[in-house]
Structure 1
Amino acid sequence: MVEFIDIGDVSAAEIDRLRGVYGPLAESVRQLIDATIRTEVDADTVAAIREQIDGATAALRSRQIDGPFGVRFTTGGERLPWGNPVIGLRNPIAPPLTIEHGDDGTVYADFELGAAYEGPPGHVHGGISALILDHILGEVAANSINPRFTGTITLRYLRPTRLGRLHAEAMTTRSEGIKSYATGYLADDEGVTVEAEGVFIEPKWARG
């Protein structure tokens, strides 16, 4: 069973404060990852920076939770999936995506992928494309009450996806009991690069 952690009656103001603390930290580390990949500084500079990073890591570890972050929610119903590798506010490996909901029932996101997500030179790793599409199809397939998790997902890679500004979009095609069927795509500035379709299933523990 997937564990969702109730953090109690936390106010919207406190959630905003926490966003203001940890979101910029993740963005700073995100920039550090990009700089680490692309830097050409000399060995002495690298050694000095490593010492600084190790010190910062030790400071952050001086007070931390055990295990994964999980999905936390407030008594008011706000979900905080901040450790998620696609949308996580606190996860530096997340782009992160901001999921938008269209009036026509679609969900979509506009975002940017840089050097940390490269597979073929200058292009997005195919596994990253799959990660993003799995998430965005799952977002549209889930309902407002219970989650639905990936049962199967099929991807068709039409051509390599360029690094840079990208758009992902998904819609539900039909629902049958505990199953939802969704389709979607990933696109760069030249058009669609990857198409996806999947079946998403409400887990046994979430069924009323």
Structure 2
Amino acid sequence: MDFTFEAISAEEFERQRSSFEPLTDALRRLIDVGIHTEVDGDTVAEALEHLEAATALLERRQRAGRSTLRHADTGRPVAWANPAVGLRNAIAPPMIIEHEADGTCWSEFTLGPAYEGPPGWVHGGICALVLDHILGEAASEGLSKPKFTGTITLKYLRGTPLGPLRAEAFVERSEGVKTFARGYLLDADGATVEAEGVFIEPAWARDAG
């Protein structure tokens, strides 16, 4: 497995970000209104025509190959398609991960209707996605090193309400090829889910080192 990525310059990253970020935001709004709309059938059919036309426009030129790039200045991956942080993935909240000097990571974001499980609450699988990602960010030093989830254990302390949330993670210890990380999903009243994960350096990366 190849962990190297095609480089993207800071200038090109900003150009693409400014171009595609509004598109992704619009797609997120479309998902939300699609969940709640109560328009009549004719209006649904009209909207569908517009969506099919927009799809045809965007299909005119498609990227071939992998969707993850490497930022030429920072060296960090630019994961456009990632379902947790992808700037061009409308199902991502997205989480903007902040990295502290001590290695801890955190992100503040909002989960709306697209992430609902029980009425008014975040689906448990989405909680797992968020925590798996941010623990991986901490374990891999901002995705700069190949460290993949070996196991992850979640403890659901109470329901996680839709709305503003925070996720945070840190590394507890490392033992050889294993990194042990812990994290939390929180609302305004404190932790709703606690997670522990073991992240493993794959054999191909060990051989390369």
What SS is found at the alignment partner of 1:44?
Answer: helix
Change (3 A) 1:117 1:2: farther
Superposition pairs for residues 27-42 of structure 1, below 5 Å?
27-42=25-40
What SS is found at the alignment partner of 1:93?
Answer: coil
Change (3 A) 1:80 1:123: same
Matched, 1:5 2:2: no
Q: Return the alpha-carbon distance in structure 2 between the equivalents of residues 78 and 131 of structure 1.
A: 21
What SS is found at the alignment partner of 1:180?
Answer: strand
Q: Which residue of 1 aligns with 2:103?
A: 105
CA contact (8 A) 2:110 2:165 kept: yes
CA contact (8 A) 2:151 2:199 kept: yes
What SS is found at the alignment partner of 1:50?
Answer: helix
Q: Deviations over 1:44-68 (max 9, x none)?
A: 111100000011001101110246x
What SS is found at the alignment partner of 1:198?
Answer: strand
Q: Which residue of 1 aligns with 2:63?
A: 65
Superposition pairs for residues 8-27 of structure 1, below 5 Å?
10-27=8-25
Moved over 6 A (4+): none
TM-score of the superposition, structure 2-length normalised? 0.92
TM-score of the superposition, structure 1-length normalised? 0.93
Q: Which residue of 1 aligns with 2:149?
A: 150
Q: Residue 4 of structure 1: CA displacement? A: 4.1
Q: Which residue of 2 aligns with 1:130?
A: 128
Q: Return the alpha-carbon distance in structure 2 between the equivalents of residues 75 and 171 of structure 1.
A: 26
Q: Residue 41 of structure 1: CA displacement? A: 1.1
CA contact (8 A) 1:130 1:155 kept: yes
Q: Return the alpha-carbon distance in structure 2 between the equivalents of residues 24 and 4 of structure 1.
A: 29
What SS is found at the alignment partner of 2:52?
Answer: helix
Superposition pairs for residues 127-206 of structure 1, below 5 Å?
127-143=125-141, 145-206=144-205
CA contact (8 A) 1:148 1:201 kept: yes
Change (3 A) 1:82 1:33: same
Match of 2:84 among 80, 83, 86: 86
**Identity %, equivalent residues:** 57
What SS is found at the alignment partner of 1:55?
Answer: helix
Q: Deviations over 1:129-148 (max 9, x none)?
A: 00000000000001365220
> How many residue pairs get matched?
205
What SS is found at the alignment partner of 1:5?
Answer: coil
Q: Say which is worse superposed, 182-191 or 120-129, in terms of deviation.
A: 182-191
CA contact (8 A) 1:146 1:206 kept: no
CA RMSD of the aligned region, Å? Answer: 1.6
Q: Return the alpha-carbon distance in structure 2 between the equivalents of residues 100 and 3 of structure 1.
A: 23
Q: Residue 79 of structure 1: CA displacement? A: 2.0
Structure 2 unaligned residues grouped into runs of 5+: none
